[in-house]
A = this chain, B = another copy of it.
Amino acid sequence: MPQAADTLLLQLFAIFVWAKVFAEIFEQLKIPAVLGEILAGVLLGPYATKFVFPSQTIFSIAEIGAIFLLFTVGLETSPSELIRVGRQSLRVALAGVAVPFFLGFGYLKLRGEPSHEATFVAAAMVATSVGITARVLSDLQVLKTRVAKIILGAAVFDDILGMLLLALVAGLVSHGGIRWLHLGVLSGEAVGFALFMMFIAPRLVKRMQPGLKRMYTHEAPLILALAICLGLSVAASKIGIAAIIGAFFAGMVFADYAPQWDLHPKASAINEFLAPFFFFTMGARLDIRLFTSNRVLGAAVVISILAVVSKVLG
């Protein structure tokens, strides 16, 4: 075995163990475990104790971890449930986009930052970290509740609206004008993708069911679900929305068949292995030295508070 693989295994071992040790300590203190996994990354990562410098491969494994996290959450979200809360989710998402956007824009304008920069920060504030949202709901064991479905649905719509807003802003900044046709194509693709996943894809899975029983492959339903999870992640990122949104839809499409095919515990197991790398590297990316400058620190605190307040309002 080459030296490179040794280092990879050692990193996997160290990250997995430390993330889980912090998660356990946080659980005992009644704090969501996910915050422990992120803190492990902050403390042991390249910006603090420099104990672990995650390699590019670890970051890639982290991305796959995010995909399986959303896939697992999707498996617990039946399409009919998402459709039922759809209108409320959309309203929350619109407020969740509009309120932070204008608050963020206004704050940076007051500070006298140039307009372009203000628009970009505002657009970035829109992007809810769907991953953290999903994991916190799961840690609190409220994933099955109606409120959780509304929040999840809103996070999905948020990502789509955020993507469109970013395209709009990029258009404003780079060309001095909005490319309406481009924006129309983007919206059409994203909305079409979401509608297809909610209304048509679940029926296709239903039709595939008899065929699966005739297959010789061991664990055929799991293999099919994993293939579709990877495929929809690729498709989502091709049309400009986050890969994890594709993975969420992939899970949702199989949600109604998850109990009969025993998919949830199996996807969960993959998630238990990969998710710690996602949250650890999230922490490891955080450059704590950035906060040493007072000006940046002040702005970061105000922006964070505005983001939290406006999200809650939304």
Contact = CB atoms under 8 A, between A and B. Distances in A.
Interface stretch (A110-118, A211-219, A293-301): A211-219
Contact of A272 (B215, B222, B237): B222
B57 A60 contact: yes
Contacts of A242: 1
A243 B24 contact: no
A308 to B, nearest CB: 25
Contact of A227 (B16, B67, B216, B222): B16
Nearest to A8: B60
Given A5-B63, A216-B27, A230-B9, A223 B20 contact: yes
Contact of A273 (B12, B226, B238): B226
A282 interface: no
B267 A24 contact: no
Interface residues of A, number: 50
| Interface of A, helix, strand, loop or mixed by DSSP | helix
Nearest to A269: B266
A16 B237 contact: no
A1 B237 contact: yes
A63 B9 CA distance: 9
Nearest to A246: B9
B33 A234 contact: no
Nearest to A5: B63
A61 interface: yes
Nearest to A28: B216
A233 B17 CA distance: 14
Contacts of A12: 64, 230
Nearest to A219: B272
Interface in A264-303: 265-270, 272-273
Given A24-B215, A56-B57, A265-B265, 6 more contacts: A13-B230, A24-B217, A33-B218, A57-B60, A219-B272, A222-B272
8 contacts: A9-B63, A16-B226, A17-B227, A28-B216, A218-B272, A219-B268, A222-B269, A267-B269
